[in-house]
Amino acid sequence: MIFFELFYTFFLIGLFTFGGGYAMIPMIQEQVVSKGWITESNLTDFIAVSEATPGPFAINISTFVGNSVGGAFGAVCATIGVILPSIIIILIIAMIMKKFMKNKYVQGALNGVRPIVLALILATALMLLIKVMFFGGNSFKGEWEFDIRSFALLVILSGILFIYKKVRKKSLGAIKLLGLSALLGIIIFTV
Amino acid sequence: MKKDNYLFKLLILFLTFMKIGVFTFGGGYAMIPIIEEEVTKKRKWISEMEIMDILAISESTPGPIAVNTATYVGYKVAGVAGGIIATISLAIPSFVIIFVISFFYQDFMQWPVIAAMFKGLKVGVIILLFSAVLKLKKGVKVNLVGIILFVTALSLMLVFSFIDTGFKYLSLCLILLGIITGIVLTLIGKNKEEQE
């Protein structure tokens, strides 16, 4: 049944997300894109939509996918699925709190999981880079073609970020960066 | 006295986390200033020190940071019901906003200007992901096992994406691999040097 499948899939995603929202992207690609619930290209678009709308990415993506697959009730099932592991785990940990975090095995497990999470996000970034530059943002199937406009935009944006950081001594915020890429995107891709 | 009763706390939690849901973009760390202002400074229900502990735990337990933090702060203020109410109130604004957006989304994407905008946004997202990696890298201790885990995970992810096996649990297995390796190393005493 689709509602249970939505709940279960997002429960699994919530359970195995360590860290911020982006850490869940690889799992969404594996679980959600492969089921055909959202396309690769739509997922990337949605990351931008989610950055530009309030609220945590996790809630946004589960509501969006849930609604497009199973309507309002689907959205409820997916969203409850993604927050339920947090509620259960944090409540248990909060009750036994301090001892838990100081436990050497817990610390050991965290030391092991951090490099993995880093690798997962980097892999996502690299794959996305290849897909956008050569496959029009879609999966690797089909013929490849180098997208010179996307590449030009990447170079321009990186340049702006670099100069901003040199001059202002801090990074450009995510929202401003996306605003800039939207604006430059309209110029570059409609001309 | 009346101001500290249980229902009042639940109501404030509900309003505070709704506000966080409406005003934080990106979640996670962006929500901390609002929590501090409402729960620490105004009500004095949780100390600054406790906020730091809560953050550390939210980061390192499964689940998105923002959701974990909401549950934890809610629990600290008003027990289990507090945890549940805080988390649900955090989710409500996003849920409503995204729900409304998804109705217009498909038609919206048909417009050439919007399509061009999203092509630009895709490039922006790539940069965001790379900068997330750079930011997170600072929190990871560099040692031999860490490098081996990192390289293994990265190469498996890349190889699997290219050959497309249809295997849906690779990143989940890799997370488990990291957890198990970390625990085994602690068992045989190899993790000690990191704690010094």
Give pLDDT tens digits along chain A (191 positions). 899 999 999 999 999 887 666 778 888 888 898 888 988 888 888 888 887 787 888 899 999 999 989 999 999 999 999 999 999 999 998 888 667 777 888 888 888 888 988 898 898 889 889 988 998 776 676 778 899 999 999 999 999 999 999 999 887 877 788 889 999 999 999 87
Dihedral in degrees, nearest 10, Cα atoms A115, B191, B29, A83:
80
In a domain, B9, yes or no: yes
Query: B174–A116: do the CB atoms touch at under 8 Å?
Result: yes
Query: Which alpha helices (DSSP H) does chain B contain, by range?
Result: 6-23, 32-35, 48-60, 65-110, 112-137, 144-163, 170-187, 192-195
Indicate if B78 and B6 belong to the same structural domain.
yes
Tell me what pLDDT residue B196 has. Answer: 38
Q: How many domains does chain B have?
A: 2
Q: What local confidence, expressed as pLDDT, does residue A79 receive?
A: 95
pLDDT of the residue at A40: 84
d(CA A44, CA A139): 12
ipTM greater than cut 0.90:
no
Task: Supply the pLDDT for residue B102.
Answer: 84
For residue B126, being part of any structural domain is answered with no
CA A152/CA B194 separation, integer angstroms = 43
Residue in chain A lying closest to B20 (CA): A55
Domain match, B6 and B103 both = yes
Q: Which residue among A93, A112, A125 sits closest to B61, beta carbon to beta carbon? A: A93
Residue B102 in any domain: the answer is: yes
From chain B, the residues in CB contact with A30 under 8 A are 167-172
| Cβ distance of B178 and A109 shorter than 8 Å | yes
Strands A18-19 and B63-64: parallel
Instruction: Give the end of a domain, one of B70, B93, B109.
Output: B109
A chain contacts of residue B196, beta-carbon cutoff 8 Å: none
Q: Is residue B27 part of a domain?
A: yes
A-chain residues within 8 Å CB-CB of B129? 22, 25, 121, 124-125, 128
Minimal C-alpha gap between B1 and chain A (Å): 26
Provide, as residue numbers in chain B, all residues whose Cβ is less than 8 Å from the Cβ of A129.
126
Q: Which residues of chain A have a CB within 8 Å of the CB of B124?
A: 48, 157, 177-178, 180-182, 185
pLDDT along chain B (196 residues), means of 10: 74 90 68 76 81 76 86 92 94 91 82 88 88 80 90 93 79 89 88 48
Are B105 and B154 found together in one domain?
A: no
A94-126, pLDDT tens digit by residue? 888 667 777 888 888 888 888 988 898 898 889
Give residue B73's pLDDT.
92
Q: Which residues of B touch A69 (CB under 8 A)?
A: none
Contact B149 A108 (CB under 8 A): no
Flag whether B123 is in a domain.
no
Residue B120 within any structural domain of the chain: no
Residue B59 forms part of a structural domain: yes
DSSP A18: E
What count of CB pairs under 8 Å joins A to B? 372
Report the distance separating Cα A173 and Cα A184, nearest Å: 17
Structure tokens at B194: 């990191």
Q: Indicate the helix (H) or strand (E) that contains A65.
A: helix A57-102
Going from N- to C-terminal start, the domains of chain A cover: 2-142, 147-191
Last residue of a domain, one of B109, B132, B158: B109
How close, in Å, is residue B119 to chain A by CA atoms? 6
- Residue among B126, B172, B181 whose CB faces A16 most closely: B172
Contact B158 A51 (CB under 8 A): no
Closest Cβ opposite residue B63 in set A34, A85, A171: A85
**Residue B92 shares a structural domain with residue B48:** yes
Cβ-based contacts of A176 with chain B (< 8 Å): none
Domain of residue B91 covers 2-109
| Whether B149 and A177 lie within 8 Å, measured CB to CB | no
